[in-house]
Structure 1
Amino acid sequence: MYINNKHRIFGLDIIRASAILLVLCSHSTLLLFPNQNNIYTTVVQFFGTVGVDLFFVLSGYLIGGILLKQIKEGKVKFKDFLYFWVRRWFRTLPNYVLILILNILLFYFLHEKIIENVIYFFVFLQNFSSPHPDFFTESWSLSIEEYAYIIGPLILFSLILCFKNYSKKALYVAMLLIIICIITFLRINYHSNHNIISHHDWSKHIRKVVIYRIDSIYYGFLAAYLAQTFYATWNRYKHWFLALGVLLFLGVHSCIFIFKIQPENAQLFFNVFYLPLLSISLLLLFPFFSAWKKGGLFKSTITKISVLSYALYLINYSLVLLTIQNFINVEAKSVMIKLLILFLYWFLSFGLSYVLFVYYERPMTKLRDLKFFKEIK
């Protein structure tokens, strides 16, 4: 698999590869122990959720950097934002639509019915303001990312139209503050009008809903602004930021563990403050990792996992894991059989992801470089 390393930052590949491996490890516990809930599976599954948050803040950091580059180059007309969306959509939509269709067909084959309101999935409305249906469940995070890429640039373009004499970078910051404040208000409003009864309830109604979660992406946008505007400080104190991020992450979760803080007994903390604190703690790692240019012995492997991460995320759960569980009662098998099934899960996930990337994702992504789309600029 040929990979163009010209513009890749190895440290960010480490973050992306770590994120998808955390997700796969988390899903592995669901494959082997679907009905067990102990400290070991809970910890692994927790870090799987952290993997998704890493994807969020990393995506925001990278896309925010692209928008700032557009601003620096004076590309702030609507056609420039349209070109930005076209490039994003050719990167994300082909894989998503293909895997969605495969999930619909597989669900029909196994259950002889079509999921209700399946059309919502094609426009990412399945979890816009309500809990995600129990179908293609990993797509909840993709809805959040897609709307983040649409709403932010739209607000930024509107601000540029209304305040033509203002600094475009200042309007970029204003866009971020507007969105973060609105989403925070929506979470406060939800907190004031609903009662969370369990961690599962909180995850379903807050963590996985677009209008309560989209700000996680914009904290990444903010980090991109800080990285470019205060580059010397960002780079000089990268080890201090790394230490602060680790301390914040460990401090928050140590308090949660020691004092048994849960969404049902600390609703204000979880509904309003926890997710932003998690995003900020992860972003404090970025000065260190964004400066990590050289790789060691495992550079090639880490980079390949990073490149396959989007395909892996789409394929591993609904298509591979749930299909295995549909035909095999994994929990009832012996340890040796479980290990073989686990190997099969990882082998199929990586193998199918490789095929998807090489023969579909990469060719579809290259279409955005056609002359027709470049003329949009």
Structure 2
Amino acid sequence: MTIIIDSRHRILGLDAIRALAILLVLFSHSTLLLFPNENTLVLTAIRFLGTIGVDLFFVLSGYLIGGIILKQLEAGKTSLNDFIYFWIRRWFRTLPNYFLVLVLNILLFYFFSGEIINGLGNYFLFLQNFVTPQPDFFTESWSLSIEEYAYIIGPLLLYLIIRLIKPVNKRIWFLWVSVLLIITSAIMRYNFHINHSILSDGAWSGGLRKVVIYRLDSIYFGFVFIYLMNKYRSAFERYTKTMFVLGFGVFLSTHILIALLGLTPVNTPLFFNVFYLPILSVCLLLLFPSLITIDTFNYVKLLITKLSIISYALYLLNYSVILLTIQHFTDVCEASLTVKIITLLTYWSLSIYLSHLLYTYFEKPMMNLRDKPFFKRILS
């Protein structure tokens, strides 16, 4: 069964950002498959770009979900039922795939080890990395926890303010709530900074970069950006190229300085704990006005769109389900180049094909349920 694409409701530039993000993640994981014990400069650079891919997903999610909430406010849909329907639509998009792949990971882990991981219940509530580092199980799920709580906390706080204060200009409160939550995340990271000693880059990544309470701002920067784009659209259109150069320039110069000066979370903890991740989010968002206007040949458009459509399934399946399973049965550390190429092609082929099946036969049918009259009727 092929994926039927309705291009009328898709923006190629946003699809391209999503496709780029998942490709960066896949290339990064490919190095872990073929060279798990090596840390050359090239491998480190590719793995770093994989982390950038995840941050692209974060700011893109904030940009898109923020836009949905703003349209909801403009339409006067601010009742509790309206917000519940917003959450229902998000959950039908994210939860079915997540829970299905979570159960699959549980079964695979038991099959390979004969054990059930401790704290498994936390994964069903997205609490596995809420305030502490996530266990070494279904490791890619850390980013899903951040997104899910960002979708709950921000809109819920906005609803409570609308309910209690009844402001005339609800859109401005969307901005202030987003800014408040960004500041709160910064305070939490500073608190982490003064109370924790970072002993390695891995400890920083697991203890701060992948923990919910320190990373919610990565979504809310997208909220702020889409608000400003809508309010000052003409200025954004006028300075599109300037913002791209600024964003790319700051991103590149920051990382060149990090490399040249040998900066790490261990020797420069204040910068990495408090400032680095917000700088990264803003730099990526400054690229958006240019990226969303891109156009290309039809066959390239089709490839980008198809990759974008299966990106969520691809993100969930490619590492814990496919890569770790391949590693369980095959050790390619000392294998020949031919064996490594075959292994790599197998990894990419299985990842894309199984993601296609997951989207076609499960993810898309579950998303279609959210538009059924039943949900609209019970919330009307």
TM-score range, shorter chain: over 0.9
In structure 1, how many angstroms separate the alpha carbons of the residues matched to 2:68 and 2:346? 38
Deviations 1:129-164 (A, max 9, x none): 000110000000000000000000001001112221
1:12 match: 14
User: Any idea what SS the aligned residue of 2:44 has?
Assistant: helix
Distance in 2 between residues matched to 1:305 and 1:294, nearest whole Å: 15
2:368 maps to a residue whose letter is K
Give the aligned residue type for 1:64.
G
For the residues of structure 1 that align with 2:172 and 2:228, how far apart are their CA atoms? 12
Residues in 1 aligned to 2:296 and 2:333: alpha-carbon distance in whole angstroms: 42
In the comparison of the two structures, how many residue pairs are matched?
377
Alignment-derived partner of residue 52 in structure 1: 54
Paired with 2:295 and 2:79, the residues of 1 have a C-alpha distance of 34
User: Contact 2:179/2:224 (CA < 8 Å) preserved in 1?
Assistant: no
How many angstroms does 1:94 deviate by?
Answer: 0.3
Which range moved further: 286-295 or 300-309? 286-295
Taking the TM superposition and a 5 Å limit, the aligned residue runs for 1:14-163 are 14-163=16-165
Match of 1:202? 204
Contact 2:332 2:340 in 1 (8 A): yes
Q: 1:94-138, CA deviations, whole angstroms, 9 ceiling, x for partnerless residues?
A: 000000000000100110111101011011000000001100000
* 1:39 counterpart letter in structure 2: L
Write the distance in 2 (CA, Å) between the matches of 1:60 and 1:93. Answer: 17
Q: Which residue of 2 aligns with 1:184?
A: 186
SS at match of 1:298: helix
- Structure 1 regions of 5+ residues with no counterpart? none
How far is the alpha carbon of 1:10 from its aligned partner? 0.5
> Take 1:179 and 1:192, find their aligned partners in 2: how far apart are those partners?
20
Larger CA deviation: 50-59 vs 152-161: 152-161
Shift, 1:293, TM fit: 5.6
State the 1:316 CA deviation.
Answer: 0.2
Alignment of 1:282-297 (within 5 A): 282-292=284-294, 296-297=298-299
- Cα displacement (A) at 1:297: 4.2
Q: In 2, are the aligned partners of 1:9 and 1:292 still within 8 Å (CA)?
A: no
Q: CA deviation at 1:295?
A: 5.0
Are residues 1:264 and 2:266 paired? Answer: yes
Q: CA deviation at 1:183?
A: 0.8
Residue 371 (structure 2) aligns with: 369
TM-superposed deviation, 1:173: 1.0
Within 2, Cα distance between the matches of 1:165 and 1:112?
A: 57
Distance in 2 separating the partners of 1:237 and 1:165: 32
Cα RMSD, aligned residues only: 0.9
Q: What is the CA–CA distance in structure 1 between the aligned matches of 2:123 and 2:82, rounded to whole Å?
A: 27
Query: How many angstroms does 1:6 deviate by?
Result: 1.3
Query: TM-score normalized by structure 2?
Result: 0.98
Would the aligned equivalents of 2:61 and 2:219 in 1 still touch at CA under 8 Å? yes
1:167 maps to what in 2?
Answer: 169
The answer (yes or no) to whether the contact 1:188–1:272 under 8 Å persists in 2 is yes
Distance 1:38 1:282 in 2: 26
CA distance in 2, matches of 1:331, 1:293: 41
**1:15-41 alpha-carbon deviations (Å, 9 max, x no partner):** 100000000000000000000011011
Partner of 1:304: 306
Could you list the per-position Cα deviations for residues 247-267 of structure 1 after superposition, in whole angstroms to 9, with x for gaps in the alignment?
010011111011111000000
Residue deviations 1:241-298 (CA, integer Å, cap 9, x gap): 1111110100111110111110000000000000000000000001112233665541
Between 100-109 and 296-305, report the one with greater CA deviation.
Answer: 296-305
Closer, same or farther: CA 202–161 of 1 in aligned 2, 3 Å: same
Output one character per residue of 1:339-361: Cα deviation in whole Å (capped at 9) or x when no partner. Answer: 00000000000010000000000
Structure 2: tracts of 5 or more residues without a match: none
**Contact preservation (8 Å) 2:28, 2:50:** yes
Structure 1 residues 295-304 or 169-178, which shifts more?
A: 295-304
CA distance in 1, matches of 2:88, 2:297: 32
Alpha-carbon deviation of 1:214? 1.1
What stretches of structure 1 move > 6 A for 4+ residues in a row?
Answer: none
Give the drift of 1:165. 3.0
Question: Shift of residue 85 of structure 1?
Answer: 0.1
Residue type of the partner of 1:139? S
Paired letter, 1:236: R
Percent of pairs identical after alignment? 54
Whole-Å Cα distance in 1 between the matches of residues 33 and 285 of structure 2? 31
Q: Please tell me whether residue 233 in structure 1 is matched to residue 235 in structure 2.
A: yes
Question: Relative to structure 2, which stretch is displaced further, 21-30 or 189-198?
Answer: 189-198
In 1, the alpha carbon distance for the partners of 2:372 and 2:193 equals 48
